[in-house]
Amino acid sequence: MPTGMWWFIGAACGQLLLAVALLRTRSKESEGPRPDDVPPPQALALLRGGRRAAVTVALVALHQRGAVAAGRKHTIRANGGPGRTRDPVQLGVHGALHRAFALRDLALRPEARRAVDVLRRELRGAGLLQPPARLWVARALLGCVPLTVAAGAYATGATGTGLAGALVAGALPVLLAAVVLLRLPPATRAARRLLAGLRDRYPLPAHRREVTDGWLVQLYVALYGDPALALFLPHFSRDGGLLDRPGEVDRNRPPQERGPVPGDGAG
């Protein structure tokens, strides 16, 4: 392998390390909420699973008040007014239901998007989501890693065994960059610590009858996603198409555990 190739590999490793350091840098605006502060379930869902997760929790809250129901062909439809709520995400999601929508389409409706985007800005200001510019720079640096390795192989004129050696040496930073890029976390370390701490405080119960508080149901769905949906709202989740893996409803709990729960119904 040409000696000059090591300079390019070193530059690729530097880009990778800089991107990782950038993602691990704490926001100067805030260190996140205090341990006793629990953000709303929609906010926690957004930190865990993004826009779709936040809309899902909003739908759970609306369903608990009878404001939405499962429609035909795994869709969600409005079932009356939004009820007594001032939550912007719930209002935005309900306002988007001019007709029945699948969850994926509902999350992209302008009313729902705007409401979630406002929540995202609030979480960014609280130091729980990465600033967009930081994410863009990190993505650009990670994308430059394979380009730098390829440019080095071309610039040094590596051929034959030299080219093979250059590609093998450059494979590690390229693979690491690909892994980081695929798992690029929009949530900050403060957010991940918050979610982990809340999961420790609120482990998913074994039986739905252990929970009678509708807000706790929302919290469990925000923290755990599909398993909590399948546990607490099996009919609504299945018929409304809320589950990523619909079969989970039938696999998670035996038939005797599928009785009525707070906020659930035949949909």
pLDDT tens string, the chain, 267 residues long: the values are 667 777 888 888 888 888 878 777 665 444 455 545 678 999 999 999 999 999 999 999 999 999 999 999 899 999 988 888 889 999 999 999 999 999 999 999 999 999 999 999 999 888 888 877 776 787 788 888 888 888 877 777 766 676 677 667 778 788 877 877 766 678 888 888 999 999 999 999 989 888 989 999 999 999 999 999 999 999 999 999 998 754 444 443 433 344 444 556 544
What's the whole-model pTM score? 0.73
Distance CA 167, CA 171 (A): 6
Distance CA 66, CA 60 (A): 10
At 107, is the secondary structure helix, strand, or coil?
coil
pLDDT confidence of residue 24: 72
Residue 20 burial (10 A CB sphere; 0-12, 13-18, 19+):
middle
Query: Which residues have C-beta within 8 Å of that of residue 199, sequence separation ≥ 6?
Result: 223, 224
pLDDT confidence of residue 120: 93
Q: Alpha carbon 27 to chain centroid distance?
A: 20
Backbone angles phi, psi at 163, to 5 degrees: -65, -40
pLDDT confidence of residue 34: 53
Q: How many CB atoms sit inside 10 A of residue 160's CB?
A: 7
Structural domain spans, the chain: 5-28+130-182, 41-125+202-257
pLDDT confidence of residue 251: 41
At 3, is the secondary structure helix, strand, or coil?
coil
Average pLDDT, the chain: 82
Q: Based on DSSP, count helices (H) and strands (E) in the chain, helices before strands.
A: 13, 2
Query: Which residues have C-beta within 8 Å of that of residue 124, sequence separation ≥ 6?
Result: 130, 131, 132
> What would the two tokens of residue 12 be?
């690729």
pLDDT confidence of residue 245: 57
pLDDT confidence of residue 249: 44
